[in-house]
Structure 1
């Protein structure tokens, strides 16, 4: 009998040592990643709070004039400005009176909403410098300044046609007017009747002055209705150049105008430093006393609840809910689990297979066992008690049959 040759020492010396498993790295990287993500969330929360404060303090573009030609919202007039540009009209949007006066010439139409921030002298100076003027937001002062007429207060008709001698309105069709006006002497009234018209036009030595309720006709949400777009082109596109002046409080020359205050203007000066100090304090407190970022640690409950108490509590909840079907389902699930264990089946065996095995073991009809273990559940309390008794009798019969088979030689 020969012994196995010993392993060669030379081969053992030449074998490279096993590389150490970087278990520490595999364990530490996820923890570091979780901590980094936690800090990223904290910084993002601080930035979001700061950005929200800035948004509250700084007025947004949505707070501009509702008839702004650069506003794409429902109340803006960006669509009309784009249509004018597509028709070859140059549209310049200006937000200062000085810039508007600089761009006006003999072939320019001045378009503006009610310049409520300008004095009467400034309005007269601006309109006198323009060849054509179209006012898209009427006011009693502008009606008086342009000598066009006054407000009319009858109910507006559903739809009206031009019904005037202005050739530019021949192909407009019908519109649904908003505010109606009563024309002054020598002023042409269009799109209305003797009680009021939607458009007033005055021409003197080739210079035209017109007024219309643009909020009801020319906004982005109303421009595509009826002949609104055609009316806008006829009024604003008569000249090759349009200077669209948007009045604002920053461009006001009046001293009696109450400029609306922003949240930053209404806030005392000490509030911003206090808010910043509070945010810094909250961040430092989170670092100092905050929990470590990572998974929750499972801890043993200080009180042990007995199974009988849990069962009694669940039974009371079920009884209070008056849900007999749910209670019967729980009884059936328990019976199936116990029968599968006694019959040597898998814990998750099919209920039909458990019913068939139980029927074969106690030598009864399979249909009866399937009706009990697979069939419909009782829906009332009166049916629940007999159903529970039948389940208990089936378990007892299977238990007795299994015990007899085990005790027999």
Structure 2
């Protein structure tokens, strides 16, 4: 079997191993990224009832469950509505900007008690008769100073964001005319708003009366539905159109076609069917062919100075042999030896061997002629000295 035939399957095998290694690396990167994003290192959202992080609320959920309260975590609106329809329950919810005012009212009317743990101006205005957000209380304990049982039993709490009470809305934990907790109550329904980040999270629950306040507000019924709003909960009439809905129908097929074309082109251009040229090695190339090829490259590049450097290198090598010098002799010393042998000016010989810089092809030819004349003169001087001796 020839060497070329043996090399072909080896090269194909190496190419196949390269593709396999590339695919394996991509799969490994995807696996590691998925583990980091969706695995144990992923952190749930703030105020999430299943999060054990500092801003999660799993601690208060576990305490409520220990007191006999059934906690249902609903991660979309449909699940929350189903849970509220099964039993009289307390609804805990974060701000839900994707819900319309009517949907927000309809959802909260299903619950016996509603607790807003991340109140924003719109939800306060809609659900608490024109209430709004206020300033912020410094990290100090604030007395309840109200008759609402949940707040009065806690006595003090660190409330964080303050709220401005609307019409017929009671306020607790007052600070400069604003309140840390608002509540509107009817005989069969109540709505309470407070800053959950300052009172309900795993890190803030042990402070002052926060734990007592949280358990009293959240534990008013035997069932607690903790609603975590999702982006897909938006009403169809008010939901902003997605990028896919705004895109013309022909765009997706065109993108897929371009991706497939790019993949096919990459495979086509990246695949090799063995060596480009099958040739037995070593290959003998004539010296004149090499010289002519290099000369054509210099001529195509219009690099006269580089071409002259090559000529000077060869000329100095020949002068070293003619003058009996060491192959490591510096160019300036070669010029000195040649000038001394010819009785010529050192500067002129140095310019021929080292310093002259041609800018055009005409100057290159003239410099090459001077090199040739210098070599012939040195050889003639060496022969004359040998004859005289």
1:244 to 218, 226, 244: 226
2:179 equivalent in structure 1 = 197
CA change 1:67–1:38 in 2 (3 A) is: same
Alignment partner, residue 131 of structure 2: 150
1:117 aligns with 2:98: yes
In structure 2, the residue matched to 1:295 is none
Native 8 Å contact 1:117 1:257 kept in 2 = yes
* Counterpart-to-counterpart distance in 1, 2:265 and 2:68: 59
Which of these residues, 79, 85, 88, is aligned with residue 107 of structure 1? 88
Work out which of the residue numbers 141, 155, 162 in structure 1 matches 2:122: 141
> Against the structure 1 CA distance between its residues 274 and 146, is the aligned structure 2 distance closer, same or farther, given a 3 Å change threshold?
same
Residue of structure 2 aligned with 1:126, choices 88, 103, 107:
107
Contact 1:172–1:227 (CA<8 Å) still a contact in 2? yes
- Using a 3 Å threshold, how does the CA distance of structure 1 residues 175 and 271 change in structure 2: closer, same or farther? farther
Q: Which moved more, 1:36-45 or 1:151-160?
A: 36-45
* Corresponding position of 2:337: none
- Contact map agreement 1:182 1:197 (CA 8 A) in 2: yes
Q: 8 Å contact 1:119–1:254 — kept in the other structure?
A: no
Deviation (angstroms), 1:65: 5.2
Contact 1:138 1:211 in 2 (8 A): yes
Is the CA contact 1:109–1:134 (under 8 Å) kept in the aligned structure 2?
yes
Q: Is 1:208 the counterpart of 2:190 in the alignment?
A: yes
Shift of 1:242: 0.6
- Aligned residue in 2 for 1:188: 170
Is the Cα–Cα contact under 8 Å of residues 121 and 133 in structure 2 kept in the other structure?
no
The aligned counterpart of 2:204 is 222
Q: How many residues align?
A: 261
Match of 1:162 in 2: 144
Q: Secondary structure at the match of 2:71?
A: strand
Question: Cα offset for 1:197?
Answer: 0.8
- 1:135 shift after superposition: 0.9
Match for residue 71 of structure 2? Answer: 91
User: Alpha carbons of 1:155 and 1:99: their partners in 2 closer, same or farther (altered >3 Å)?
Assistant: closer
Give, in angstroms, the shift of residue 49 of structure 1: 5.5
Q: Structure 1 regions of 5+ residues with no counterpart? A: 1-33, 291-307, 309-409
Q: CA deviation at 1:233?
A: 1.2
Q: Name the residue aligned to 1:66.
A: 46
Backbone CA RMSD of aligned residues = 4.6
Conservation of the 8 A alpha-carbon contact between 1:149 and 1:181: no
C-alpha deviation, 1:222, in angstroms:
3.5
CA shift, 1:54, in A, is 8.3
**Alpha-carbon distance, 1:144 to partner:** 2.1
Matched-pair contact (CA < 8 Å) for 1:65–1:246:
no
Q: Distance in 1 between matches of 2:197 and 2:29?
A: 36
CA contact (8 A) 1:249 1:259 kept: no
Flag structure 2 segments of 5+ consecutive residues without an equivalent: 1-13, 275-327, 329-389
Q: 1:38 to 1:236 in 2, by over 3 A?
A: same
Q: TM-score, normalised by structure 1?
A: 0.51
What is the deviation of 1:125? 1.4
**Superposition deviation, residue 246 in structure 1:** 1.8
Q: Which runs of structure 2 are paired with 1:3-402 in the superposition (5 Å)?
A: 41-48=21-28, 66-104=46-84, 107-159=88-140, 160-172=142-154, 174-258=156-240, 269=252, 270-271=254-255, 288=272
SS of the residue 1:164 aligns to: coil
Query: What is the rounded CA distance, in whole Å, between the counterparts of 1:50 and 1:285 in structure 2?
Result: 26
8 A Cα contact 1:154 1:195, kept in partner: no
**Alignment partners' CA distance in 1, 2:258 and 2:32:** 16
